[in-house]
Amino acid sequence: MSPAVVWQCRRTARLCEELRAQGLEELAREHTGLLLDPYFSGPKVRWLLDADPELRARAERGELAFGTVDSWLVYNLTGGKTHVTDASNASRTLMLNLDKVAWDREMLSALNVPEELLPRVVASSGVMGEAVAQDPFPSGLPISGLAGDQQAALFGQGCFAPGLAKNTYGTGCFLLVQAGETRPHPQKGILATIAWQIGGSTSYALEGSVFVAGAAVQWLRDELGIIESAAESESLARSVPDTGGVMVVPAFVGLGAPYWEPDARGTIVGLTRGTSRGHLTRAVLEAIAHQVADVLEAMAEGEGSKIRELRVDGGAAGNNLLMQFQSDLLGLPVTRPRLLETTAVGAAFLAGLGIGLYRSAEELIDRQQPERVFLPSAAPEQRLRWRDEWRRAVACASAWGTGASAGERTPGGGSHSH
């Protein structure tokens, strides 16, 4: 057994650069809908196999099994009888063909990952195994729902029609827009992914990942000691009327969508002698909202439908100051449900569908009611000023890691050639 490599780990950044230099970026994007980035698990598998030659030999003999957390859980719940992953989780590995919903031989070859290592791809809803008797599970309990973290949240938010969008505020931020049953081909900074597969039909989504959101609040608490708890961030941020001109770009592990700059670094600009704990805390909260706005704007520029509302969930969605600023920044209603942990809700809904507890997805919509709707109150010109200040701060964060001048940076992919 190998230690897990978490999604925020950047140890495969150099490998991804090498694969890009080999001209594999377009293959990855066309076949998998993703980019060559350390965020995805395919390069991590390659790294594990390269780090230990004995592991690669055993993998090629079919003696090892790889999977994301869903595969590991099902394998253990079934007593080692079932090694599967669902289509939504598989679509996040850089190894699944998005059109065929099957492991992609060309990508496996490029990554040098043996197919014998991988789990069988199954639907997101439907019985895929049975739990063996182990506390607290009785023998024969069906396992009937399996989905990626963010796809489950999209399902739990009732985003079943194209154009419906949700954003989860957790360690990072993850904005997904339902795209229907036709695979989308978004612009470069946005990804295409499988939302779920039910009854032989595959639903797709547009996706943009922000690597650091709630983790920036944890940084204020654990590294800087500015707050004692995440909940304190709202009251401290409210102690000042604005950020005092401070902008924080929390690119602690690079920048995700729509920039995809693994070498960008966290940056604070606009500091003065009068900058306080409150200003810095408010700037961190506003940075979370700005990163979400970056993703949504990139989607709107591509083939994404016109988004008229943003549904929100996750722990930081409980922060009223953040949610109001998000609405002001986007100029859109932000709708928060009563139950913020919609990933768990979506997984339960998929499992219920899988055993016939519910007849259709539409039957579930009324079960997730809104708790509050935040409406935009900022003037359009103020919104434009906020966004211009943010873009200048992002240019500084990007230039720090690459040496490129601010004017050379563009969302979605590095520098212009001159």
Q: Residue 340: which of 320, 362, 361, 360 has the closest Cα? A: 320
**Residue 360 confidence (pLDDT):** 85
Predicted confidence at residue 417, as pLDDT, reads 29
Has this prediction a pTM greater than 0.85?
A: yes
Q: Which CATH class is domain 147-418?
A: alpha beta
Angle between helices 41-51 and 13-21 (to 10 degrees): 100
| pLDDT value at residue 287 | 98
What's residue 409's pLDDT? 38
Residue 19's pLDDT is 95
- In DSSP terms, 193 is beta-bridged to 205
* Rg, Å, the chain Cα set: 22
Binning the chain into helix, strand and coil, the percentages to the nearest 5 are 40, 20, 40
Whole-number pLDDT of residue 146: 96
* Confidence (pLDDT) at 411: 42
What pLDDT is recorded for position 1? 67
- Specify the pLDDT at position 5: 86
Residue with tokens 């609040």: 217
Domain boundaries in the chain? 1-146, 147-418
The residues that bridge with 198 in the sheet, in sequence order, are 201
In CATH terms, are 1-146 and 147-418 the same topology?
yes
Q: What is the pLDDT at residue 301?
A: 78
> What is the end-to-end Cα distance of the chain in Å, rounded?
48
Q: What is the mean pLDDT of each run of 10 residues along the chain (418 residues)?
A: 80 93 95 93 94 89 92 94 97 97 97 95 96 84 95 95 95 95 90 95 96 96 96 97 98 93 94 97 98 94 76 96 98 95 94 92 79 96 97 92 44 34
**CATH class of the domain defined by 1-146:** alpha beta
C-beta separation of 169 from 213 below 8 A:
yes
pLDDT value, residue 412:
42
Judge contact between 413 and 402, C-beta under 8 A: no
